[in-house]
């Protein structure tokens, strides 16, 4: 599968969100990554439904919504209504993960599970066949602009084997500290969706940076 690029709007300029979404529409980005933080699951608060609706109003690409919240099962329909196409919940926030995944699919979205850096990919053995996406956190969730954790490569390799063993169609997404330094190595290990926040939005030319990431990981 070709590598997909999913810029994270957490690093966008919220006073110019229409401009930044239109920039992503014009770029080679495949998905728009949307980080929702509740101040409970993670030590930061980002934004909620009105902001997602505003993004959806302008976006011409799928919204890849990453929920860093407790009890995500309470809000599945609401995220669908706000415009989510892919909905990812955290393994660590879901005691009834199987049910939550079925609810996401029943609501008409692709279902993903995110793993914190300390959570082993082996814990997905009994759910991987049901997943459309696994998001490996390559930083501790809560903030953009953090340093990439090198153990991520090892997790990607292990997850790739688990996916093959279970005939799963899940794609591997990497979230946190992605740059041109690690992108190619991540894809060689088996990743196929790269989230990038600060690397894209802090670049002098974000459209060019997205294009370069896409080219370098699709050779
Ligand atoms: C972190 C978020 C990430 C973040 C990535 O909790 O889930 O999506 O926006 O930002 P960078 O690419 O700056 O690490
Ligand atoms: Zn994210």
How many angstroms does the Cα of residue 121 sit away from the middle of ligand 1?
Answer: 20
Whole-angstrom Cα distance, residue 180 to residue 217?
9
Atom of ligand 1 nearest to the CA of 137: 7
What angle is formed at CA 12 by the lines to CA 8 and CA 18, rounded to 5 degrees? 110
CATH number at residue 128: 3.20.20.70
Split at pLDDT 50, 70, 90, the class of 127 is very high
Buried b (16+ CB within 10 A) or exposed e, 77-97: eebbebbbbbbbbbbbbbeeb
Q: For 70-109, how does the pLDDT look when each residue is reduced to its tens digit (9 = 90+)?
A: 999 999 999 999 999 999 999 999 999 999 999 999 999 9
Helices (H), 27-83: 49-58, 76-82
pLDDT at 219: 86
Ligand nearest to the CA of 142: 1
- The answer on pLDDT for 153 being more than 90 is yes
- The predicted model scores a pTM of 0.98
A 10 A CB-CB count for 177 gives 23
Range of the domain at 165: 4-216
Q: Which residues line ligand 1 (CB under 6 A)?
A: 8, 10-11, 33, 35, 66, 139, 141-146, 175-178, 195-199
pLDDT at 1: 83
pLDDT at 21: 98
**124 SS3 class:** helix
Total domains in the fold of the chain: 1
Tokens of 160: 């790739």
Ligand nearest to the CA of 65: 2
Q: Which of 5, 51, 146 maximizes ligand 1 atoms within 8 Å of its Cβ, making it the mutation to test the pocket?
A: 146
- pLDDT above 90 as % of the chain: 99
């Amino acid at each position: 599968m070709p590598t997909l690029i999913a810029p994270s709007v957490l690093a966008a300029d919220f006073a110019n969100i229409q401009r930044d979404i239109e920039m992503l529409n014009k770029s080679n980005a495949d998905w728009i990554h949307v980080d929702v933080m509740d101040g409970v699951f993670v030590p930061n608060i980002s934004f909620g439904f009105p902001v997602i609706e505003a993004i959806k109003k302008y976006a011409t690409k799928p919204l890849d919504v990453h929920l860093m919240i407790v009890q995500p099962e309470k809000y599945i329909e609401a995220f669908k209504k706000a415009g989510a196409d892919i909905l990812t919940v955290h393994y660590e926030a879901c005691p009834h993960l199987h049910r939550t995944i079925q609810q996401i699919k029943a609501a008409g979205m692709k279902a993903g599970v995110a793993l914190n850096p300390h959570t082993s990919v082996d814990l997905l053995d009994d759910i991987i066949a049901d997943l459309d996406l696994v998001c490996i956190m390559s930083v501790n969730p809560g903030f953009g602009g953090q340093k990439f954790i090198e153990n991520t490569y090892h997790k990607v390799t292990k997850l790739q084997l688990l996916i093959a063993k279970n005939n799963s169609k899940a794609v591997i997404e990497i979230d946190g500290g992605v740059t041109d330094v690690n992108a190619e190595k991540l894809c060689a290990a088996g990743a196929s969706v790269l989230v990038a926040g600060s690397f894209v939005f802090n670049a002098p030319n974000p459209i060019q940076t997205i294009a370069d990431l896409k080219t370098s990981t699709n050779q």
